[in-house]
Amino acid sequence: MNSDEIRQLEEKIENVCKNLYDPEIPVNIYDLGLIYDIKVSEDGKVKIVMTLTAPNCPVAESLPAQLKEEVSVLNGVKDVDLEITFDPPWNQDMISEEAKLMLGLL
């Protein structure tokens, strides 16, 4: 996979993230700031580092599993390593400007 293909696949993964929503906040997980990092290697291995709004989030198991499943079926993806971290802990400052406007936080 060359650098253009890697960049295109990273954009597809971002789009998957933008179609998954936290059930308690009407904003997708990408604009909510829950995705810390997306890396695609030349051999099609994907590493995603994400967090949740809280460790006891009601979708702590289902949301990451859904993300991993949806990314794994993308053309070019060979393997998905999804890491959940709480360092740094999520806070409202991580929400995109557009989502803050939508939520009335600006």
- Indicate if the pLDDT at residue 53 is higher than 90: no
Domain ranges of the chain: 3-89
Computed over every residue of the chain, the mean pLDDT equals 93
Calpha distance 42→4 (Å, rounded): 11
Share of the chain above pLDDT 90, in %: 81
If one looks up domain 3-89 in CATH, what number appears?
3.30.300.130
Q: 37 falls in which pLDDT band (50, 70, 90)?
A: very high
SS3 assignment for the chain = CCHHHHHHHHHHHHHHHCCCECCCCCCECCCCCCEEEEEECCCCEEEEEECCCCCCCCCCCHHHHHHHHHHHCCCCCCEEEEEECCCCCCCHHHCCHHHHHHHCCC
pLDDT at 58: 79
